[in-house]
Copies of this chain bind each other. A is one copy, B any other.
Amino acid sequence: MARHEFTPTVFYNTFGSHPPAFHVDPGDEIMTTTVDARGRDQHNDELAGRPNPQTGPFFVSGAEAGDTLVLHLDSIRPNRSLGWTTGCLAPNVLDFDYEPEFDDEVDLAEWKVDPTAGTVTLTTPENRLTGKSFELRPMMGTVGVAPDIGEAISTSTSGPHGGNMDYNRIKEGVTVYFPVFTEGALFFLGDGHALQGDGEMDGTGVEISMDVRFRLDLIKGHSIQWPRAEDEEYLMVCGNVRPLDQAVQHATTEMVRWLESDYGLTAREAHMLLGRVSEYDIGNMYDPAYTMVCKVPKAVLISLGLSS
Bound-complex Cα distance A87 to B198 (A): 31
If A94-B249, A103-B268, A127-B268 touch, whether A197 touches B243 (CB-CB below 8 Å) is no
Interface residues of A in 193-214 (CB under 8 A from B): 195-202, 204, 206
Q: Copy number in this complex?
A: 4
Closest to A242 in B: B242
Among A61-69, A73-81, A145-153, the one that faces the other chain is A145-153
Q: Within the assembled complex, what's the spacing in Å between the Cα atoms of A277 and B199?
A: 10
The answer, yes or no, to whether A97 is at the interface (CB within 8 Å) is yes
Give a binary string over A90-106; 1 marks a CB under 8 Å from any B CB, 0 the rest.
11111111101111101
Is residue A140 contacting chain B, with contact meaning CB distance below 8 A? no
The size class of the interface chain A forms with chain B is: 35 or more
Partner of A268, one of B104, B276, B306: B104
Contact with B along A240-275 (1 / 0, CB 8 A): 011111101110110010000000111111011111
Q: What separation, in Å, do the CA atoms of A197 and B290 have in the docked complex?
A: 22
| A88 and B242 contact, Cβ closer than 8 Å, known pairs A93-B249, A250-B95, A282-B280 | no
- Name which residue of chain B comes closest to A100, CB basis: B267
Task: Pick the interface stretch among A20-28, A37-45, A128-136, A170-178.
Answer: A128-136
- Known contacts A244-B245, A278-B199, A280-B199; A273 and B129 CB within 8 A of each other: yes
A13 interfacial by beta-carbon distance below 8 Å: yes
What distance in Å separates the Cβ of A157 from its nearest Cβ neighbour in chain B? 10
- On whether the beta carbons of A93 and B252 are closer than 8 Å, the reply is yes
**A222 smallest CB distance to B (angstroms):** 20
**Chain B residues whose C-beta falls within 8 Å of the C-beta of A245 in the assembled complex:** 92, 243-245, 285, 290
**Beta-carbon contact of A279 and B241 below 8 Å:** no
Establish whether residues A303 and B133, one from each chain, have CB atoms under 8 Å apart when the complex forms. yes
Which single member of B93, B127, B151, B246 contacts A154 (CB below 8 Å)?
A: B151
User: Given the complex, which residues of B lie within 8 Å of A100, measured CB to CB?
Assistant: 256, 267-268, 271
* Contact status A276-B93, CB under 8 Å: no
Residues of B within 8 A of A274 (CB): 89, 197, 201-202
Are B87's CB and A127's CB within 8 A?
A: no
- Complex-state Cα separation, A264 to B129, whole angstroms: 12
B151 touches A277 (CB 8 A): no
- Seed contacts A14-B149, A127-B266; 10 additional CB < 8 Å A-B pairs: A51-B149, A88-B268, A100-B268, A103-B268, A132-B303, A151-B151, A151-B154, A196-B276, A202-B272, A245-B285
* 4 closest A-B pairs by CB: A202-B275, A244-B244, A197-B278, A91-B96
A-B contacts, 14 of them at CB < 8 A, read A87-B268, A89-B274, A92-B96, A93-B248, A128-B265, A129-B273, A132-B304, A134-B303, A150-B152, A202-B272, A241-B242, A243-B243, A243-B244, A279-B281
